[in-house]
Amino acid sequence: MSPTLASIFMNERRSLIGSILRIVKDPGIAEDLSQEAYLRAQRTSESQQISHVEGFLHQTARNLALDHLRRSKTRQTYEMDNGAPDALDSIPADVYSLENALIERERFREFHSALSCLPSRAQTVIVLSRIEEWPNHRIAKHLDVSERTVFNDLKLAMAHCRDALHRLERK
């Protein structure tokens, strides 16, 4: 009979808390994160088989501790210093207005129009490079052309699209 997740967690609990504590330096947070690691392991075990539960618990706990540390550092960076209420005024709001939507739609139309004027291979190159994020050597192999040809097609396509967007902005 294999041990249950709960019994494995209870056996590993002190070790998990110790590992987390070395990262976050707070016993209360370490306890909370160890419990969160257990809950995540429990949720995962409901949908799939975990082959090495101890390793899964420790890796999950470590990831949670590192995520907590990153969030804490980010929070500290953006907290107000000594009650300076104007500190957040310089951060732009994430408001997406109708005007912005119309401007972006027009920019997309112009980009699409410029793209459709390009040769087929240049269109393919810019899509694979900028949208699919393929490296030039992969595109070259896929299209059976040299990397230099990919580079030149990309340069042509980007310049053409950039010029089209600049013309739109000048209107």
Q: Which domains does the chain have, with CATH numbers?
A: 5-79 (1.10.1740), 100-170 (1.10.10.10)
Question: How many other C-beta atoms can be found within 10 angstroms of the C-beta atom of residue 39?
Answer: 11
Q: How far apart are CA 87 and CA 91, in angstroms?
A: 8
Which residues make Cβ contacts (< 8 Å) with residue 163, sequence separation at least 6? 114
Q: How far apart are CA 18 and CA 61, in angstroms?
A: 10
The secondary element (H helix, E strand) that includes residue 51 is none
The encoded tokens of residue 154 equal: 């990309």
Q: What pLDDT is attached to residue 1? A: 34
Q: How far apart are CA 160 and CA 117, in angstroms?
A: 9
Q: Give the closest residue to 21 by CA, choosing from 69, 54, 74.
A: 69
Q: What pLDDT is attached to residue 90? A: 64
pLDDT in tens, the chain (171 residues): 357 888 988 999 999 999 999 999 999 999 999 999 999 989 888 888 888 889 999 999 999 999 999 988 887 777 655 555 565 566 666 666 777 788 888 888 888 898 899 999 999 998 898 888 889 999 999 999 999 999 999 999 999 988 988 888 887
Taking only Cα atoms into account, the Rg of the chain, rounded to an integer number of angstroms, comes to 26
**What is the pTM assigned to this prediction?**
0.47
Q: What pLDDT is attached to residue 45? A: 86
